[in-house]
Amino acid sequence: MPTLTDIRAHSKWRDILEGQPQHLGLIVFLMLGAGALFTPVSEMSPEFWGLSVWYWAWSSMGLAVLHQVLVAAVFRLQLHRNLVTRLCGQNDLAIWTAVFIPLLVARPVTVLLTGVLDTQPIGTPYGLNIGIGVIFVGIALYGIHSVHQYFTIPRAVGGDHFREEIAAMPLVDKGIFKYTSNAMYGPTFLGLWGIALLCDSWHALVLAAFQHVYIWVHYYCTEQPDMAWIYGNR
């Protein structure tokens, strides 16, 4: 397995952009597709902080895009140029975690706000929505517990781009990771679908679909190429 120092010595500036033109193109495609599925909102619909469900839905999408674009930029600049460490010193990972976690938490929170305010139902039997929603939220909570307990937060925020010892950690095979190696992008994101179903919210369901597809865009355009560099699979 190459060291981070080796990677930075041999990579080129063009390697920072690997997969990112596709990433940006898919952002436009996915946002236009999701926006087309939003329905008109009545002037009498509920508001929160003076904003209707329509604004919260677009804000939720915008925050997800901001999160993943920022992650892509930080991952690449740190992996190939050690930029965050050069700017922040030994506090690099702590500062990055303090930026990453609030943006991550904002994703389900804004989906929930959208779902609570939404008056447009999904159109499927509510009892079925509740049953599936509870299962999905339960799976997501188990996934979050497994990430915290076994995978660890430093590793989850991309610590292998910052520290050799994190990159050298073995694969996790406990908790939800016994069943899938990609628990954070698969089962854990089912929680967004669960929120939408429990709220019986069409707009929240669209957001759940958008965010779940978009996190896989991050995986294929950013994380998979990075893992090839870090773990020597290029």
> Does 42 score more than 80 pLDDT?
no
Q: What's the whole-model pTM score?
A: 0.91
Rounded distance between C-alpha atoms, residue 175 and residue 151, angstroms = 9
| Residue 121: Cβ within 10 Å count | 13
| Residue 75: Cβ within 10 Å count | 23
Residue-wise pLDDT tens digits, 172-200? 889 899 888 888 888 999 999 999 999 99
Sequence spans of domains, the chain: 4-230
| Residue 159: Cβ within 10 Å count | 18
Residues 6+ away with beta carbon under 8 Å from 217:
23, 26, 27, 30, 68
HEC profile for the chain?
A: CCCHHHHHHHCCHHHHCCCHHHHHHHHHHHHHHHHHHCCCCCCCCCEECCEEHHHHHHHHHHHHHHHHHHHHHHHHHHHHHCHHHHHHHHHHHHHHHHHHHHHHHHHHHHHHHHHHHCCCCCCCCHHHHHHHHHHHHHHHHHHHHHHHHHHCHHHHCCHHHCCHHHHCCCCCCCHHHHCCCCCCCCHHHHHHHHHHHHHCCHHHHHHHHHHHHHHHHHHHHHHHHHHHHHCCCC
Contact assessment for residue 107 and residue 60, using Cβ atoms and an 8 Å cutoff: yes
Query: Would you state the pLDDT for residue 33?
Result: 94
| 56-65, 125-134, 157-166, 173-182, range with the lowest pLDDT | 173-182
State the average pLDDT for the chain. Answer: 92
Query: Would you state the pLDDT for residue 198?
Result: 97
Query: Would you state the pLDDT for residue 147?
Result: 93
Contact assessment for residue 79 and residue 159, using Cβ atoms and an 8 Å cutoff: no
Closest CA to 126 of 134, 149, 39: 134
Query: Would you state the pLDDT for residue 82?
Result: 95
| Residue 31: Cβ within 10 Å count | 17
Query: Would you state the pLDDT for residue 184?
Result: 86
Bridge partners of residue 23, in order along the sequence: none
Residue-wise pLDDT tens digits, 49-75? 777 888 899 999 999 999 999 999 999
Residue-wise pLDDT tens digits, 68-100? 999 999 999 999 999 999 999 999 999 999 999
